Amino acid sequence: MFDIPIKILKFLPPELAHSFSIQALKYLNLKYDNINDPILSQHILGLDFPNPIGLAAGFDKNAEVISSMFSLGFGFIEVGTITPLPQNGNPKPRVFRLEEDKGIINSLGFNNKGILKAKKNLIKFKSSSNKNRIVGVNLGINKNSTDSINDYLFGIESFCNLANYITINISSPNTVGLRDLQLRGKIENLIKQVVLKREKIDSLTKIPIFIKISPDLNDDQLRDIALISLANNIDGLIITNTTINRPNNLLSKNKNFKGGLSGKPLFQASNKILKKMYNLTNGQIILIGVGGISSGSDCYEKIKSGASLIQLYSALTFSGPSLISKIKKELVDLIKTDGYKNISDLIGKSV
């Protein structure tokens, strides 16, 4: 039923359509899609995931519509990116649909209402009957930050007793210098301080820490990140954020806008990185596969390429909210047809 408004929203500029959607989702009283075949459930890092499909960061930047997004059938939701202070992001227009390619280019630049506001929203969500639902918080840095590490540490301090996991986002292409934090000298220091902070705040429960990486890293950079993550007990890697590359076969006239490309044109590139990381980490770190997923068979391929969990965003804007239930059904069929007992049996099978 909600796929009809999606057709109308397509006539609006994408950022306006997104704002309308957020406002509508705040007030719609959606019924939960709680149908999760047990074949899709996994216990990972102390958390019970009813299904492996998560909402990727960027849709609910301020933790405003978590409840409604769960109603669509997601197994977990990642809110953010959240920065310590509110900020407007880059000048508009900064989101472009590539309709023919089923892709999106965005150069938003961490527009968000800041940690205080998001924290309030998350407290409200968790204090209703939603304690067991898995919500991750994706952290970033302010554009004018003079101490990026401190921005992340403040984020951890703010959310570690509230979120189910924390994502350190060092891969958005729209904040100058951010992606350099992925490079050897910088990432080691960052990860060490992040892990130390977690230890200091909460040495017993240890909230899982994920690092979100770019699809544009070379083999040496991937190896460095794998080794540093293994050595410092990072719990998960989210693979991947958007790409600054443009595949040659893009059709849309919007293909040359500046920013990060997501959706279908990112699928193969992010899978390649996923497989490499699975090999580099010997399957010892949980991988979350993101990039271009729009069907059950896309999920299947990501999981076979090494992902334990997956996330999506762009396909939701093209296909509408019934997509998640559809993907879950397709995924269950694929798993049963191939004779697996649980989704976890296929992790890394094609690497």
Residues in touch with ligand FMN (CB under 6 A): 56-58, 61, 80-81, 95, 104, 106, 108, 138, 169, 172, 212, 241-242, 262-263, 266, 290-293, 312-315
| Segments of 85-231 assigned E as strands | 95-98, 103-106, 134-139, 165-169, 209-213
Measured from the CB atom, the residue of 103 and 348 that comes closer to ligand FMN is 103
Residue 216 C-beta: closest distance to ligand FMN, Å: 13
Measured from the CB atom, the residue of 77 and 343 that comes closer to ligand FMN is 77
- Single out the catalytic residue among 68, 171, 172, 308: 172
Which tokens in the block code for residue 291?
């990039």
What region, left, alpha or beta, does residue 206 occupy, with left being phi > 0 and alpha being psi -120 to 50 degrees? left
Instruction: Tally helices (H) and strands (E) across the chain.
Output: 11, 13
Asked if 172 is an active-site residue, the reply is: yes
DSSP class of residue 55 equals: E
Residue 228 C-beta: closest distance to ligand FMN, Å: 19
Dist CA 319 CA 99 (whole Å): 12
Dist CA 27 CA 41 (whole Å): 30
Strand 47-49 relative to strand 42-44, pairing: antiparallel
Measured from the CB atom, the residue of 128 and 136 that comes closer to ligand FMN is 136
Q: Are 252 and 201 in contact (CB under 8 A)?
A: no
CA dihedral of residues 29, 77, 36, 329 (deg, nearest 10): 90
Sheet order of strands, 95-98 included: 95-98, 103-106, 260-263
Residue 335 C-beta: closest distance to ligand FMN, Å: 21
Residue 29 C-beta: closest distance to ligand FMN, Å: 26
Residue 243 C-beta: closest distance to ligand FMN, Å: 9
Residue 311 C-beta: closest distance to ligand FMN, Å: 7
Dist CA 78 CA 193 (whole Å): 23
Dist CA 278 CA 305 (whole Å): 8
Residue 114 C-beta: closest distance to ligand FMN, Å: 13
Backbone angles phi, psi at 11, to 5 degrees: -80, -10
Sequence-separated (6 or more) residues with CB below 8 Å from residue 103: 97, 250, 252, 261, 262, 263, 264, 265, 266, 314
CA neighbor of 194 nearest in space, from 135, 240, 241, 148: 148
Residue 40's Cβ-count burial label (10 Å; 0-12, 13-18, 19+) is: buried
Please list the active-site residues. Answer: 172
